Amino acid sequence: MDLRLVTEPTASNLAGAAREMELGPGRVLAVLLAEEDRPDLDQVVAQLGRLDLEFWGAVVPSLIYGAKAVSRGALLVALEAETQPVLVRGLEREQFPDSELRGIEESARGAQTAIVLVDGLAANVSGLLSELFTRLGNRVNYIGGGAGSLSLEQSPCVFTRDGAFQDAAVIAFCKQATRLGVRHGWSHLEGPVVATRTKGNTIYELNWECAFEVYRDAVAPYIDLELSHENIFQVTNAFPFGIHKEGDEDVVRDPVAVGKDGELICVGAVPENVVLNILRGDAESLILAAGQAASDCCEGPPIRARGSFVVDCVSRTLFLGDEFPRELGMVRSRLDPIAADEPLCGMLSLGEISSDGEGFVQFLNKSIVTAVFHD
């Protein structure tokens, strides 16, 4: 996999680096920009737009390069793709406009992997993924994640030759196959609680009462501080919600903020009437889970790896703190049997996307997705 790390990510430096890469027909340039000191997206689009190449990209909280988190810079990856990246808009709407995916089947023809970057703070990422799965099913593996800023302030964060967009997604269809592993390492602590009133990614009521109050009472025995609107992220980062998935780990929902009426705002949709559990984890369980995700990629007959890619939830870095390099180191070492020569790269995300092999594609939180591209 042809990839470059640009440490001074000005628009002109990005264009210069792109010129040096092999980006002829059948290749598409993926550009991941770390949010710190990132260049103006319109300038990036303008500079890259002058080159004779197809490109797409996103702003993400941080990059992963060489098994380390990189908070400043840009990662440029040349992907083997026969069709142009697809821009999908309208993710703010409650009913996802399925007309946005018109012609997606044609774009996916001949591809084995769909790389999906979405505005991680858009309300209806799940609607997009449901519709995508309805149309493409398991013809492709899905990997990707949520773009945006760790400040949780929404702004245009995905881009193509057409410009930079908010409440949007960009999807590239890659010719190469992938092996995927998805894990998180969180386990049940409290519950169940019923999300009795929700809309998109906002939980208004739990057990028919104010969501914040129910959550506060549920976690109170496990924390040493009084939960408030100000410190909620500090607590929820350690006690997320889990949605049951039979035969698998729960799908995690991360409440990242609380609204003025006590509503909990999550990354990713929470269906109304879903039954939630409150989860807990520790550094060991998370790092072991990350290692297991990498090991899952190594299962099966021998393959010739062409690259590896990791989408790791940014909240895991916050939770793990100084232990976070251990997580990436574990992934690196577990991938060695099949991808020792491939540099580990990827992104820290606001929500993760994976079909877990053949499975139903879902928007996940607080999870790590590992992918090994191969022929």
Partner 1 sequence: MTEHHELSGVLQDLAVLYELSLCVGGSLELKENCDSFLRTLMARKNLEYVAVWILESAISGEAVDGGSRYTLVYANPGSRGTRAALPLDHALVERLGDGGAYSACSRDPDFEVLVTEAEIQRGAFAVFPLGDHGLLKLYSSTRDQAFTQVELSKLRHVVEKFAVSLAGCLDHDRVRTAEQRRRDLEDQMLHAQKLESLGVLAGGIAHDFNNLLTAILGNAELARPGLEAAPAQEHVENVVGAASRAAELCSQLLAYSGGSCYVSGPVHLGELVEEMLRLTSVTISKKASIHREMIAELPPVEGNATHIRQVVMNLVTNASEALEDTTGDITVRTGVTRVGLSELTEYLLGDQRQAGDYVYLEVEDSGCGMEPGTEMRLFEPYYTTKFTGRGLGLAAVLGIVRSHHGAIRVRSRLGEGTQVRVLLPMSSKSSGEKAVVPAREGPTRAGVALVVDDEASVRKLLTHALEREGFRVLQAADGGEALELFQDCHAEIDLVLLDLTMPVLNGDEVMQRMRLVDPDVRIVLSSGYSDPGVESRAGGGPTAFLEKPFRLAELKAVIGTVMATGSPPSPLLESRSPAEGRVPPS
109 binds partner 1 (CB under 8 A): no
CB-CB contact of 150 with 314 (8 Å): yes
Identify which range of 213-221, 243-251, 259-267, 367-375 contacts partner 1 by CB under 8 A.
243-251
Out of 72, 93, 133, 303, the only residue in the binding site for partner 1 (CB under 8 A) is: 133
358 binds partner 1 (CB under 8 A): yes
Q: How many residues bind partner 1 (CB under 8 A)?
A: 28
139 binds partner 1 (CB under 8 A): yes
Out of 19, 109, 188, 229, the only residue in the binding site for partner 1 (CB under 8 A) is: 188
Cis peptide before 39 (omega within 30 of 0): no
CA 125 to chain centre: 11
Nearer to partner 1, 308 or 355 (CB): 355
**Shortest Å distance, C-beta 194 to partner 1:** 7
64 binds partner 1 (CB under 8 A): no
Nearer to partner 1, 54 or 356 (CB): 356
Nearer to partner 1, 35 or 131 (CB): 131
* Amino acid residing at 89: R
Write the interaction track for partner 1 spanning residues 246-275; mark x where CB under 8 A is met and - where it is not.
Answer: xxx--x-------------------xxxxx
**Shortest Å distance, C-beta 111 to partner 1:** 13
362 binds partner 1 (CB under 8 A): yes
229 binds partner 1 (CB under 8 A): no
Nearer to partner 1, 142 or 309 (CB): 142
Strand, coil or helix: 351: coil
- Number of residues written out for the chain: 375
Nearer to partner 1, 152 or 194 (CB): 194
300 binds partner 1 (CB under 8 A): no
102 binds partner 1 (CB under 8 A): no
CB-CB contact of 118 with 60 (8 Å): no
Binding footprint of partner 1 on the chain (CB under 8 A) = 105, 130, 133-139, 188, 192, 194, 243-248, 251, 271-275, 358-360, 362
